[in-house]
Amino acid sequence: MNIRTALIRLARATATTAALTLLTAATTTATHAAPATNDPAPAGTAFVDAASLPADELRGLDQPIPYAEYARSHGSKSVTRRAAADPAPGDQQDLRQQCANHAAAAKTATGWLKSRFESCQKRPFDLVLRDVRGTTTLGRLKFDQWVLGFAYDGSRRVDYVASIENIWVQPIPTEDATKWRIGQHFHHSVNASSSDADPQVTAPQTVNRDELLGVWDTQPHWNLTYTSPDKGALFDQGNQQRVFSTVAMDLSASSPNAAPFTGGSNVYNSSVRYDYAGKIAGKFKGTVFTQARVELVMSQKDPAVNESALHIYDALNRPERTFPSWPGKSVPGAKEPLHRLVDKEKQKNNRTRSIKECGKVWGDYTGTDLQCDEYPFASTKEGSTKGDNRFSVRLIDGDDNETGGRRLDQMYTLNRILDGDAFYMKITN
């Protein structure tokens, strides 16, 4: 039996228990559906965020130890430590290592989005178990929550690898941390108003995992796959089968007879788009993380596109040097995004308008190696026919201009940029 299968079976077995620990904002006390015990924690206790407590209440809880060490010292036999797991696939290992270099973004609810196809959350939690009257602290629980997200260029599917890792505890002598639990509870929604007709998302069979700390410590990872069914190629009929969905997760932490941790609602949030947009997107179907920032990067030191890069840099940073010229001119693309335009006729109109502007400024340049470079690009909704004159034209080397255009098309394809999708420009020195 592989690790994923074992984890899914284990999660199914605890589904009933997990349902009882789901976070409810209106709930202030709850009895956890853990096995009956003759040594329950005091009634009316709850986990709270350590950051919400005065420093003097944490002085006696400043020496937590790894859970495995604690369990051994208390003779716990409830969970048998498994043999060392097979190493995670290379893409997961690489993403985890890169995530550590973006710690500030990684601990947010959306996590760090490496690209439209990879995301990572590493969120540390530091909780204190105390009675609800606030008179007694009963222990401390620290752990890291991980969620790796993988979208796919070529499949209407998104995978998440969730885990609870690096568990440390420090209960008072009368409290038993082997009976503490953590739960991860996934749920999703579909934005029907933004999606195409009949939007559907199929959730994995198991979306809740609520376990004793010992189980998480020895089996930290579990997998979830969300898919959206497709009806075949309908893009020529105007139906790209776009489905905009949000996958979110709530976290619970509890002790027997304790109220759930109420700070764990929507601790993770992932926005996804499924599509079957056809050849305009490169691979005919796929998924992307819509909150990822997409940038087209050009360098002024790259001889293949240095003239294009300088033109865009001037438009973004020194618009007074660009044409058409008018007081207070600004050009989008750095702080304001550009948006792709796929309508060929509107692209043609943008080019015609831009070439006309070049002729007004530089006259007849036919017979030269120069071409009229336009920014924002003709293939954007911010092109020269938008009507606000926030564009720029410049004569540049023709090969440079055409190379820049090919790189723009590659960026569209590699990032599944569909009509109306946003992207930004980044010009380096």
Q: Which two tokens stand for residue 38?
A: 């003759």
Judge whether 45 and 205 are in contact, CB under 8 Å: no
DSSP state of 291: T
pTM of the model: 0.86
DSSP state of 156: S
Q: Which two tokens stand for residue 314?
A: 């001037």
48 phi/psi in degrees, rounded to 5? -130, 160
Q: How many residues does the chain have?
A: 429
Q: What is the CB-side half-sphere exposure of residue 183 using CA atoms within 13 A? A: 35
Q: Which of 55, 51, 248, 203 is nearest to 142 (CA)?
A: 51
398/402 Cα distance (integer angstroms): 6
Q: Which of 180, 291, 164 is nearest to 222 (CA)?
A: 164
The β-bridge relationship of strands 45-49 and 258-259 is: parallel
Tokens 């056809």 appear where? 278
Q: Which residues contact 151 (CB under 8 A, 6 or more apart)?
A: 116, 117, 118, 158, 272, 286, 287, 288, 289
228/248 Cα distance (integer angstroms): 17
Side chain identity at residue 162, one-letter code: A
The predicted structure's pLDDT at residue 44: 74
343/345 Cα distance (integer angstroms): 6
138 phi/psi in degrees, rounded to 5? -110, -10
Cα distance between the two ends of the chain: 53
235/254 Cα distance (integer angstroms): 49
The predicted structure's pLDDT at residue 5: 39
Q: Which two tokens stand for residue 292?
A: 């990822």
Q: Domain locations in the chain? A: 3-289, 295-428
102/115 Cα distance (integer angstroms): 13
From first to last of its 429 residues, the chain has per-residue pLDDT tens of 443 333 333 333 333 333 323 332 222 222 233 333 344 444 578 999 999 998 888 888 999 999 999 999 987 654 444 444 445 666 788 999 999 899 999 999 999 999 999 999 999 999 999 886 767 889 999 999 999 999 999 999 999 999 999 999 999 998 999 999 999 999 999 999 999 999 999 999 999 999 999 999 999 999 999 999 999 999 999 999 999 999 999 999 999 877 778 789 999 999 999 999 999 999 999 999 999 999 999 999 999 999 999 999 999 999 999 999 999 999 999 999 999 999 999 999 999 999 999 999 999 999 999 999 999 999 999 999 999 999 999 999 999 999 999 999 999 999 999 999 999 999 999
383/342 Cα distance (integer angstroms): 12
The predicted structure's pLDDT at residue 397: 98
Q: Which two tokens stand for residue 417?
A: 């940029």
Judge whether 271 and 291 are in contact, CB under 8 Å: yes
The predicted structure's pLDDT at residue 95: 94
The predicted structure's pLDDT at residue 163: 97
